Amino acid sequence: MGRYRSYGFALLTLFMASAAFASKELEAQAVMPPFMRKARWALAFLTLVMLALTVRLFIVARVSPMEPPPPPEPEAAAEGAITRRSFLSLLGWAWLAFTAATLGALTTVLRFFFPNVIFEPPPVFVVGMPNTYSIGVNNDFKSKFSVWVVRAEEGFYCLSTVCTHLGCTPNWLESEQKFKCPCHGSGYYISGVNFEGPAPRPLERYQVAWAEDGQIQVDKSVVFRQELGQWNLPGAFLPWRG
């Protein structure tokens, strides 16, 4: 029976581990409620405890002497009759299988209520007052909104941080006054025009305008492409002299 108990503990440990990994995936997608995040750590701790108990039971079952064979059944018992001991054993395994199936179904249902959702920032946002900028490239909104806000002598424009070659993210090199892609070496001037590497066209610009409170507003849903002659259109550049 020790060996069968170890098998049961192993099955339950595998299920708890899969549930812990499923909850970790939910938390990574930022769709898990706070109370479930706390429950995930408790589930991970219980999984480790169950794993330790399973290993111990396997060791005990392996090193312990073999159980003596059961006494022969009375001759009066009919051949193939289910004894009380075997019936309880079958009932225990059936209950264990039912519990595992039920918990697995509940995990699937819970996963259905938390679908794969990617939360993206809004396309329209403000980037501050114009007098807070100095001439050059501002990296403050690169990680959150994937844009560079550039202050020129005559005003502002907003560049996309997506390389036009294969979609990597270039870096602004202040000492060299250029954007340099670390993937394949594409280079762009501060204006966004490509001049080296495999990039086929300049960086895209987004619409910039004045918000109601006087801040600079960026709209990523409106794109301007230099090779199409769109950088001369209203919105591709925001005139301002401080």
Q: Is the pLDDT of residue 85 over 50?
A: yes
Q: Is the pLDDT of residue 210 over 80?
A: yes
Q: What is the pLDDT of residues 213-226, one digit of tens each?
A: 999 999 999 999 99
| Among 218, 77, 210, CA closest to 159 | 218
The predicted structure's pLDDT at residue 158? 97
Percent of the chain with pLDDT over 90: 48
Give the DSSP H/E element, type plus range, for residue 37. helix 34-63
Coil, strand or helix at 72: coil
Burial state string for 63-86 with b = 16 or more CB within 10 A and e = fewer than 16 = eeeeeeeeeeeeeeeeeeeeeeee
Domain map (residue ranges) of the chain: 2-65+85-113, 124-239
Q: Is the pLDDT higher at 120 or at 20?
A: 120
Alpha helices in 114-184 (DSSP H): 142-145
The structure's pTM equals: 0.54
CA atoms within 13 A on the CB side of 178: 15
Give the DSSP H/E element, type plus range, for residue 172. strand 171-173
Give the model's confidence band at 101: pLDDT under 50 very low, under 70 low, under 90 confident, else very high.
confident
Write down the CATH number for the domain with range 124-239.
2.102.10.10
Average pLDDT, the chain: 76
